[in-house]
């Protein structure tokens, strides 16, 4: 009989997921769209059962026979949908060296996939609801230590309420920047860095050619209201590549709406796809709002960044 155990959040979980993702992606990247971390272990600060849940996303069920065959070659077997439409469960496969995990395959238009992502992202952005959900799970685990059905049923109302709220807040779109965003990015960059920041042409060139940089934008209606830039870097001092969040800005009138957190989550997720799991950023020690956001997203430590212009500019 399986015992339900809910543990405090473990910062190692994203790294454990990244190891599994890296292994699978090497074998299926030509026929899958993405692999996404879902479930409670994907939410920083959330207590969870120590099991990684993730979804392999495919274009449609036309691809399902191919992905099933490819996964079978790796030792996985299709185990039905478990009563959930458009979410196919797989068992078996490589387990040695990996944390325990549940693997699913979903078409990109799966309502269950949408529900999971909406719920995950809402919890990432709302610490109060995240903590309420953690307390509920811990209580249910104590009440139903060996009854997984009752444990799941007890979470259902909160989950569906959160998903409904998340759908309402989906008005702000977070996406990768494209070249045609350059004029709007120029306006935002001027607000943040001053009028002598990069030109429209310079931004266009960077978006086209800089493969080490990732830029996400927040869009409300047809207006860009924020952006976040990050660069992949490496050093002889470290055995791994890491990402530096270089620029991060949301227009004043759109702050305190969770947009900054959504941008940060999106850019981290994009770097995770590239197997980058270490992040660096800096901000002023008097920027209390930014510090609160970064710390709530798991950033720690203190640093001072000094600047010098060799031409003598301040």
Pairing of strands 52-58, 34-38: antiparallel
- Orientation of helix 148-168 relative to helix 111-125, angle to 10°: 80
- For residue 304, the model assigns a pLDDT of 64
Residue 309 lies in a domain: no
Cβ atoms of residues 172 and 262 within 8 Å: yes
- For residue 225, the model assigns a pLDDT of 92
- The set of long-range contacts for 288-296, using a CB threshold of 8 Å and a minimum separation of 24, is 289/255, 290/248, 293/260, 293/261, 293/264, 294/264, 296/45, 296/127, 296/261
Same domain, 41 and 160: yes
Inform me whether the pLDDT recorded for 314 exceeds 60: no
Query: What's the CA gap between 81 and 68, in Å, rounded?
Result: 13
Average pLDDT, the chain: 90
Mean pLDDT on 61-87? 96
Going from the C-alpha of 177 to that of each of 69, 83, 113, 192, 230, the distances in angstroms are 35, 38, 24, 17, 12
Q: Tokens 């049923």 — which residue? A: 153
Cβ atoms of residues 16 and 99 within 8 Å: yes
Could you read off the pLDDT of 152-203 as tens digits, one per residue? 999 999 999 999 888 876 667 889 999 999 999 999 999 988 877 889 999 9
Total of domains in the chain: 2
Mean pLDDT on 218-247? 90
Residue 210 neighbours by CB under 8 Å, 6+ apart: none
β strands within the chain, DSSP E: 34-38, 52-58, 76-78, 88-92, 101-107, 172-176, 213-220, 223-233, 242-250, 279-281
Torsion sign, CA atoms 38, 23, 216, 261: positive
Torsion sign, CA atoms 46, 254, 229, 266: positive
Inform me whether the pLDDT recorded for 15 exceeds 80: yes
Same domain, 162 and 186: no
Percent of the chain residues topping a pLDDT of 70: 95
The CATH number that applies at residue 267 is 3.40.630.30
Could you read off the pLDDT of 96-141 as tens digits, one per residue? 889 999 999 999 999 999 999 999 988 987 888 999 999 999 999 9
The secondary structure element, H or E, covering residue 112 is: helix 111-125
Same domain, 144 and 18: yes
pLDDT confidence bin for 302, thresholds 50/70/90 = low
Could you read off the pLDDT of 281-290 as tens digits, one per residue? 887 777 787 8
Inform me whether the pLDDT recorded for 313 exceeds 60: no
The tally of CA atoms less than 13 A away on the side-chain side of residue 235 is 6
Residue 101 phi/psi, 5-degree rounding, is -150, 155
Same domain, 238 and 292: yes
Inform me whether the pLDDT recorded for 303 exceeds 70: no
Mean pLDDT on 22-34? 95
The CATH number that applies at residue 86 is 3.30.460.10
Going from the C-alpha of 313 to that of each of 9, 40, 225, 291, the distances in angstroms are 46, 48, 29, 28
The total of other beta-carbon atoms located within 10 Å of residue 257's CB is 18
The total of other beta-carbon atoms located within 10 Å of residue 285's CB is 10
The total of other beta-carbon atoms located within 10 Å of residue 297's CB is 19
Residue 107 lies in a domain: yes
Same domain, 220 and 248: yes
Residue 305 lies in a domain: no
- Decide: helix, strand or coil at residue 41: helix
Q: Tokens 């710390």 — which residue? A: 295
The domain of 221 spans 172-296
- For residue 1, the model assigns a pLDDT of 67
The secondary structure element, H or E, covering residue 251 is: none
Same domain, 219 and 258: yes
Residue 310 lies in a domain: no
Query: What's the CA gap between 227 and 177, in Å, rounded?
Result: 9
Same domain, 188 and 216: yes
């Amino acid at each position: 009989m399986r015992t339900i155990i809910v543990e405090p959040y473990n910062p190692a979980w994203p790294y454990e997921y990244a190891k599994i993702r890296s292994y699978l992606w090497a074998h299926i990247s030509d026929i899958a769209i993405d692999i996404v971390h879902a479930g409670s272990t994907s939410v920083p600060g959330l207590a969870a059962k120590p099991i990684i849940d993730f979804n392999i996303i495919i274009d449609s069920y036309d691809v399902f026979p191919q992905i099933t065959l490819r996964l079978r070659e790796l030792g996985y077997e299709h185990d039905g949908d478990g009563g959930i439409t458009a979410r196919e469960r797989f068992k078996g496969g490589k387990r040695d060296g990996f944390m325990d995990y549940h693997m699913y395959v979903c078409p990109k238009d799966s309502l269950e996939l949408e529900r999971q992502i909406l719920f995950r992202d809402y919890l990432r952005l709302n610490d109060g609801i995240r903590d309420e959900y953690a307390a509920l799970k811990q209580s249910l685990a104590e009440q139903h230590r060996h009854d997984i059905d009752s444990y799941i049923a007890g979470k259902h109302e909160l989950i569906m309420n959160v998903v409904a709220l998340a759908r309402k807040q989906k008005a702000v779109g977070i996406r990768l920047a494209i070249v045609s965003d350059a004029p709007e990015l120029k306006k935002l960059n001027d607000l943040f860095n001053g009028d002598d920041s990069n030109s429209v042409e310079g931004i266009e060139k960077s978006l086209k050619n800089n493969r080490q940089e990732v830029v996400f934008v927040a869009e409300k209606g047809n207006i860009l209201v924020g952006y976040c830039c990050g660069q992949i870097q490496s050093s002889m001092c470290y055995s791994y590549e890491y990402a530096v969040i270089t620029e991060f800005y949301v227009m004043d009138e759109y702050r305190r709406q969770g947009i900054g957190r959504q941008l940060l989550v999106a850019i981290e997720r994009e770097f995770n796809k590239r197997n980058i799991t270490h992040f660096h950023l800096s901000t002023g020690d008097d920027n209390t709002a930014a510090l609160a956001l970064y710390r709530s997203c798991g950033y720690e430590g203190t640093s001072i960044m000094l600047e010098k212009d060799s031409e003598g500019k301040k």
